[in-house]
A and B are shown apart, each in its own frame.
Chain A
Amino acid sequence: KQEVTQIPAALSVPEGENLVLNCSFTDSAIYNLQWFRQDPGKGLTSLLLIQSSQREQTSGRLNASLDKSSGRSTLYIAASQPGDSATYLCAVSSSNTGKLIFGQGTTLQVKP
C-alpha cells in the first residue's frame, strides 16, 4: 500500500529565504507526482506535476524534483514571500486513473 510522508510538518522562515520541502513515498511504481498548495479553508491549487519519466519541473520560483528509485521528491521555493504562506501537499498517483494518495502536508509560514 502506497504511503506518502512529508517532512517537516511545519516550517517558519523569514522572507527572502530559499527553502526545501520534502516528500517521500514507499512504492516507487508511480505514474506521476504532484505538488499542491492549500490555503486555510480552501481547496487545492496544483503547483507542479512531474510524470514518472521526468526528473524535475519548474514554474517561476518553484522547482520540484523527482527521484523515483529512492522514493523522494523535493519542492524548492526560491526567495520566499509572505504570500507563499500556506500548506503544501504532495500527492502520488500509481496509475493513469487519477487516484491520488496525499501526504500530510507541510505548513509554511513566511514572516515579513
Chain B
Amino acid sequence: GAVVSQHPSWVICKSGTSVKIECRSLDFQATTMFWYRQFPKQSLMLMATSNEGSKATYEQGVEKDKFLINHASLTLSTLTVTSAHPEDSSFYICSAKDRVFSEQYFGPGTRLTVT
C-alpha cells in the first residue's frame, strides 16, 4: 500500500528556535497534503491544507507566519514551526492525498517537544 513518511519522528528543541518537519509520499504523487496536530488524549485538529505549487490554506485560528508550510513537489511538504514555544509541543501528523485515486494516507507523526 501507499506509504507516507515523516521526518523526524521526534524532536526536542529550545524555546525560540525553529523546527522543520518533512512529510513525503514514498510511492505515489500527492497534489494535496494536510497537516494536523494532536494534543495528548485529544483528537486531530486540521491545521492547514497544502497544495503543490501554491500557498497553503490555513484553518481558522492557525497562525500562518508561525507554521510555515511549503509544498514544493508532488512528494514533499514541509512544516516549519518558527520561534517555537512550549505550547507548540504536540504530535504533528501529515496526510497525503493520492493524485490519481484520491485515497488519503497518513504519516506516522512527529513528536515535538519544546523546552
Q: Are B42 and A104 in contact (CB under 8 A)?
A: yes
The answer to whether B44 touches A99 (Cβ under 8 A) is no
Please tell me which one of the listed residues A43, A45, A89 contacts residue B43 in the complex, with CB atoms under 8 A apart: A89
Complex Cα spacing A105 to B43, Å: 7
Total residue contacts A-B, CB cutoff 8 A: 50
A44 at interface, CB cutoff 8 A: yes
Using Cβ atoms and an 8 Å threshold, which residues of chain B touch A103? 43
Main secondary structure of the interface of B (DSSP, over half): strand
- The distance in angstroms between the C-alpha atoms of A98 and B48, with both chains bound, is 12
Interface size class of A (residues with CB under 8 A): 10 to 19
Which parts of B89-115 form the interface with A (CB within 8 Å)?
A: 91, 93, 95, 97, 102, 104-109, 111
User: For B68, what are the chain A residues with a Cβ–Cβ distance below 8 Å?
Assistant: none
CB distance from B1 to the nearest CB of A (A): 9
Q: Check B44–A102 contact: CB distance below 8 A.
A: yes
| CB-defined contacts of A78 to chain B, threshold 8 Å | none
Nearest CB in chain A: distance from B106 CB, A: 4
* A61 touches B (CB below 8 Å): no
Which residues 71-112 of A sit at the B interface, judged by CB distance below 8 A? 89, 91, 96-105
Q: With an 8 A cutoff between CB atoms, is B34 at the interface?
A: yes
Shortest CB–CB separation between residue A7 and chain B, in angstroms? 13
A100 touches B104 (CB 8 A): yes
Residue in A91, A96, A100 whose CB lies within 8 Å of B102: A96
Interfacial residues, chain B to chain A (CB-CB below 8 A): 6, 32, 34, 36, 42-46, 49, 91, 93, 95, 97, 102, 104-109, 111
